[in-house]
Amino acid sequence: MKFEDLLSEINGFGCFQKMVLCINFFGRFSLACHFLLGNFIAVIPSHHCSISSLDADEIFENLTQEERLTVSIPVQKDGTPASCHMFSYPQFHLLSNSSSPSEVAAVQCQNGWEYDNSIFISTLTTQVRRLLLFNLLLIYTLCTFL
Share of the chain above pLDDT 90, in %: 0
**SS3 call for 8:** helix
Tens digits of residue pLDDT in 21-77? 888 888 888 888 778 777 766 677 788 888 887 776 777 878 888 888 888 888 888
Round to whole Å and give the CA distance between 33 and 11: 35
pTM above 0.75, yes or no: no
The amino acid at residue 113 is W
